[in-house]
Amino acid sequence: EPEVTQTPSHQVTQMGQEVILRCVPISNHLYFYWYRQILGQKVEFLVSFYNNEISEKSEIFDDQFSVERPDGSNFTLKIRSTKLEDSAMYFCASSDGTGVNSYGYTFGSGTRLTVV
Amino acid sequence: AQSVAQPEDQVNVAEGNPLTVKCTYSVSGNPYLFWYVQYPNRGLQFLLKYITGDNLVKGSYGFEAEFNKSQTSFHLKKPSALVSDSALYFCAVRALMNTGFQKLVFGTGTRLLVSP
């Protein structure tokens, strides 16, 4: 069964450092997403990406965040200057469409980011 | 705004007994509802979805969910719980954003604990 792959599974970084979280979506999917789950809290939408541009972003997704699809297979989330409150599990997801018949999302296994 | 509520932080059930994890929703228009499961240190795994049709939806690992429009509920059920079902369960609803793209709005999660 096709999978969304995320690397690394766990990253520890110092406050103020830049981190890049990587994702390989399912190959024939065209819509890509990042979600975040702060420990013990609910999963929250960050950003959606289609046709090489951001289609929607939440209020969480401020100027320190950026997304990119650099080579047609990877989908990355960059956090420019990490803060302690960025510590969370970050999930990548991809989907085959946006309509009512689309399967829905396939999520990756997540990257646990710890900012110290 | 679309939202889902999971009123129970934790559900305890003995192995072999039936289980129910509750979810109620608030949407404008037709609801597209999902259940995901998260095992420790793992990603979100899709269990089942309701888009239209039969109110009883069957999913992975023997789970099913009953869509009840009058009660605006989408409870997750399983006739006979297994210890291995112990995990965190999230109900989610699809929300259409201004651009027509979708995102998932998650509930706060319910921890299911199945005792031997």
Q: Which whole number is the average pLDDT over A79-106?
A: 82
Measured between CB atoms, which of A6, A98, A101 is closest to B101?
A98
Q: Does A55 touch chain B (CB under 8 A)?
A: yes
CB contact under 8 A, A56 and B98: yes
- Phi/psi of residue A20, nearest 5 degrees: -125, 125
Residue A104 pLDDT more than 70?
Answer: no
Instruction: Tell which B residues from 11 to 50 touch A, by Cβ distance under 8 Å.
Output: 32, 34, 36, 41-46, 49
More confident residue, B16 or B99: B16
Q: Which whole number is the average pLDDT over A5-34?
A: 94
Residue A74 pLDDT more than 80?
Answer: yes
Q: Does B5 touch chain A (CB under 8 A)?
A: no
A36-66 pLDDT per residue, tens:
999 878 899 999 998 889 999 999 999 999 9
| Probe site for chain B from A89, A107, A114 (most B CB atoms < 10 A) | A107
Measured between CB atoms, which of B42, B103, B109 is closest to A48?
B103
How many percent of chain A have pLDDT more than 90? 69
Residue A101 pLDDT more than 50?
Answer: no
Q: How far is B82 from chain A (nearest CA, A)?
A: 23
Q: Which of A100-104, B12-16, B72-76, B82-86 has the lowest mean pLDDT?
A: A100-104
Q: Does B69 touch chain A (CB under 8 A)?
A: no
Residue B103 pLDDT more than 70?
Answer: yes
Q: Which of A80-94, B56-70, B88-102 has the lowest mean pLDDT?
A: B88-102
Residue B41 pLDDT more than 80?
Answer: no
Q: What residues contact residue A40 under an 8 Å CB cut-off, 6+ apart?
A: none
Q: Which chain A residues are closer than 8 Å to B23 by Cβ?
A: none
How many percent of chain B have pLDDT more than 90? 72
Burial environment of residue B86 by CB neighbours within 10 A (0 to 12, 13 to 18, 19 or more): middle
CB contact under 8 A, B101 and A100: no
Instruction: Give the number of other Cβ atoms within 10 Å of residue A65's Cβ.
Output: 19
Most confident of A29-38, A101-110, B37-46: A29-38
Tokens 């960059």 locate to A78
Q: Does A6 touch chain B (CB under 8 A)?
A: yes
Measured between CB atoms, which of A44, A45, A91 is closest to B43?
A91
CB contact under 8 A, A43 and B90: yes
Residue B3 tokens, joined: 């939202």
Residue B78 pLDDT more than 80?
Answer: yes
pLDDT at position A100: 44
Q: Which amino acid, A95?
A: S
pLDDT at position B91: 96
CB contact under 8 A, A56 and B97: yes
Q: How far is B46 from chain A (nearest CA, A)?
A: 7
DSSP β-bridge partners for residue A53: A50
Q: Which of A25-29, A88-92, B9-13 has the lowest mean pLDDT?
A: A25-29
More confident residue, B21 or B52: B21
Q: Which whole number is the average pLDDT over B106-115?
A: 95
- Mean pLDDT, chain A, as a whole number? 90
pLDDT classification of B100: cutoffs 50, 70, 90: confident
Burial environment of residue B1 by CB neighbours within 10 A (0 to 12, 13 to 18, 19 or more): exposed
